[in-house]
Amino acid sequence: MRKITNPYQPYKIPDAKDAFFGREEIATWVEQQIIAQRRLLILYGLPLIGKTTLLGFLPQMLTLSSASVPLSFSELSDYSGNAVLAYLIQELTGQLDALNLIAPGSIPTATDAVSALDHLLAQFQQRSPDTELLLLIDDFDALLAHAESDMALFLDIIRTLLVRHPFLHFILTAQYTSLPRLQHPLLDSAPVQQITTLSPNDALQMITSPVDKVIRFDYGVPKRIADINSNHPHYLSIFNNALFARCAREGWVNLRHLDETLDDVLAKDLPSFRQVWREASLVERAALVATATVRGGHGVFTRQEVAALALRQDKKADEEVILTALESLAYQGVLVKMGALSYKFYVDLLRFWLQKNFILADVLQEVSWQQPTARAEAEPLLASDELQDGEGGQKSPAGFPLWILALAGFTVIAILLAGIVFLGDKSGIFIAPASTAEAQSVAEVISFKEEPLITPTITPTPAPTGTSTPTPPIVVAKSLPSIAYMARQADGFWQLYLMDIDGSGVQPVFQSESDETSPVWSPSGNKLAFVSERDGNREIYVMDRSGQNPKNITNHPDDDWTPAWSPDGSHIAFSSNRDGAWQIFVANADGSNLQQITDGDSSNISPVWSPDGEMLALSSKRDGNWEIYTMRADGKDQRRLTHNEVNDLAPIWSPDGSLIAYETNLDGNVEVYVMAAAGGNPRNITNMSYANDHGPVWSPDGERLIFYSNREGNWDIFITHLDGSGVVNLTNTPDVDEQTPVWRP
């Protein structure tokens, strides 16, 4: 029988591009930065997330004319400035020579590093004048292991090279927690991009594509695998490897096989999980096991549930100590904070591992509630505890704990975002040409000789030494733009949530005992209008994006619905049935100066402003069924855009005002269509005959649409390109319904 090779290889970088999944958005970002002449970029993330693998495949993912030289500072045993420069020159010489991009056998003979590198780069430019040269430096932050002064010296040389060679670019990778220590004028304004878990669609592709003709999956099994591993490429690789070993001969995977594979994986050595356990305090261990135990530990859980379970098991337990431990675990990156009161595991597989290996009552017996920071006696770390990066790549030193590597995560993002705001237009590195004298001055003081290497004589300006401060409060930094939407579980109340554009970072805006629906961002993105039933009927409220300072701006006993902000943020249009049929009203953003702009016996709903603020689109039933109309902001000059015998609803202008997206049941089911802003040329974007697709909303760049659909059973939020390609389920929650997504401007 033909032997079938297992295509899933944990801790190994894939040999071919078709075995590497996702990361296209990062490659696009890198290419955009290069085109915009940002000369130095930083990619960062937690261990195991795949930084090394991404850097290895990045050249194949770029479309611009470029040559790449991969380097890895983790290979060095000596991190002194001279040793690093020697490594750079040796690798650059060898790789450019192998690519025939310098004169054959060319070896720099200059006595200083800058001149030696200049010699190589000048030859490269002569041979490839229209090609960008990318130096891909993995583990750049390994320089910190020796001395920050050596890192500063190296960056001084990089700055000189960037001044002299406009075709040169550096792309660096670093650990999540190293960023605060990467202090240098060259790095202060460098664009940064975080490498996170895979998108839901990419995770499914990673599970199914390598075994497309070998293994058949029952419906729902790939998604369950992705959920167990939280779309994390490293753990998906481990799980898929075990799944293939169990099911390849049978060629079929059902839920029973999945459960058996989960047992196989949990029986393996998972050093990253053991390291989390070893580095946790006794109270944090108790909090982890309680978290994995409560209600089966499935999905999102509240801190009150965890504390209550611990108190039932141990009457001496201290609730405040447990809550503090949960905050600490979230701060370390072991848990993900989903709002003020709830959490989930960063990787859900850890929940199963804890359930298998620990009993809450036994763990609680080890805790001294009077010593909340006490730890277990130190245990030696084994060689197998070394961590590897993502789908394969470099190892982190044994004994360097996963959670410590995440320790500064939230603060790092907050610092970076604050820096971006502060730097304004300096978000990239636009290096002004240096004068000849300036370049010569730098070259003269940075010396490099073949035998021996001489320590450079310049003393780089050290970064300010930070004053030791207490552990800072947890800061949850929101990426922009983000998506607001409404969601509910079973027959519960609709509540408002926020998430990042890839579906991650889900958090409630606030919690209430009434339906909260139809969120709409203000143009500035700092407020939300929404519909609340807290007063017994539907009212339009406005609040801060954090959920604070809610204000009822309609205050009427009849229902008010479908709010929409004007482009300048000064007005809100909405529909109300206060006069019998639904009609369109416009008011100031605080609810004052109310004006009714439609009337009659027929209903008009869902007003939405054109980008210039001159027009409104709406749905009207004046023709017997719902049709799309436009009118001026004062209600005049009403024009019908659709002419169907079915219902056309939920219009919304594209950001440039040239198109209108809407939903229609023209094809029997509800589909998302796009037409010209003046009407005509309608085209079906979603094309899913067995499902209903509702509520289209444009991305700020006008390139994509988000909508909600029941195509996978329940209501989920999806994103698609305008040609209907690249559809991704952003929410993927079979037990939760999500609807009415809106994109922050």
- How far the first Cα of the chain sits from its last, in Å, is 58
Q: How many domains does the chain have?
A: 4
Same domain, 83 and 144: yes
Q: Where among 245, 267, 289 does a domain terminate?
A: 267
**Does residue 15 form part of some domain?**
no
Q: What is the 3-state secondary structure (H, E, C) of 179-240?
A: HHHCCCHHHHCCCEEECCCCCHHHHHHHHHHHHCCCCEECCCHHHHHHHHCCCCHHHHHHHH
Residues 287 and 214 occupy one common structural domain:
no
Q: What are the counts of helices (DSSP H) followed by strands (DSSP E) for the chain?
A: 19, 36
Q: Are residues 687 and 614 in the same domain?
A: yes
Compute the half-sphere exposure of residue 714: CA atoms within 13 Å on the CB side of its CA. Answer: 16
Q: Does residue 455 lie in a domain region?
A: no
More confident residue, 206 or 418: 206
CATH number of the domain where residue 487 is located: 2.120.10.30
436 plus 542 within the same structural domain:
no
Give the pairing type, strands 301-302 and 482-489.
unpaired
Interval 102-122 mean pLDDT: 75
CB of 171 closer than 8 Å to CB of 127: no
Quick one: 83 and 142 in the same domain? yes
Query: Which carries the bigger pLDDT value, residue 344 or residue 418?
Result: 344
Asked whether 360 and 289 are in contact (CB, 8 A), the reply is yes
pLDDT of residue 105: 64
**Angle CA 53–57–60, to nearest 5:** 175
**275 and 258 belong to one structural domain:** no
Is residue 600 one of the residues assigned to a domain? yes
pTM of the entire predicted model: 0.56
**66 in the same domain as 125:** yes
∠ CA 397-401-407, rounded to 5°: 120
> What is the 3-class SS of 492-505, one letter each residue?
CCCEEEEEECCCCC
Query: What is the percent of the chain with per-residue pLDDT over 90, rounded to a whole number?
Result: 46
On whether residue 462 sits in a domain, the answer given is no
Query: Do 677 and 738 lie in a common domain?
Result: yes
Task: Identify whether 551 is part of a domain.
Answer: yes
Residue 398 sits in the same domain as residue 432? no
| Strand, coil or helix: 643 | coil
Tell me if residue 639 falls in helix, strand or coil: strand
Percent residues over pLDDT 70 in the chain: 83
Distance CA 547, CA 500 (A): 17
Q: Are residues 96 and 228 in the same domain?
A: no
Is 536 contained in some domain?
A: yes
Q: Which residue range forms the structural domain that includes residue 66? A: 23-197+428-445
CA angle 231, 48, 90 (to 5 degrees): 135
Mean pLDDT calculated for residue range 687-714: 91
Residue 178 lies in a domain: yes
Q: Cis peptide leading into 166, omega within 30 of 0?
A: no
Residue 141 and residue 225 in one domain: no
CB 529 within 8 A of CB 587: no
Q: Which of 98-102, 408-412, 567-571, 678-682 is most confident? A: 567-571
pLDDT bracket for residue 664 (50, 70, 90)? very high
82-96, 284-298, 472-486: range with lowest mean pLDDT: 472-486
Last residue of a domain, one of 242, 267, 292: 267
12 in any annotated domain = no
Pairs from 418-426 (Cβ < 8 Å, separation ≥ 24): 419/188, 419/189, 423/188, 423/189, 426/189
Q: What is the pLDDT of residue 442?
A: 40
Sorting pLDDT into bands at 50, 70 and 90, what band is 501?
confident
Calculate mean pLDDT across residues 638-665. 94
Instruction: Choose the final residue of a domain: 338, 373, 405.
Output: 405
Three-state DSSP state, 508: strand
Whether residue 193 is found in the same domain as residue 217: no
pLDDT value of residue 207: 93
The band of 438, judged by pLDDT with boundaries at 50, 70 and 90, is very low
* Residue 298 confidence class, pLDDT cut points 50, 70, 90: low
The rounded distance, in Å, linking the Cα atoms of 287 and 284 is 5
Residue-wise pLDDT for 37-76, tens only, equals 899 999 988 888 989 999 999 999 998 889 999 999 887 8
If pLDDT is split at 50, 70 and 90, which confidence band does 453 have? very low
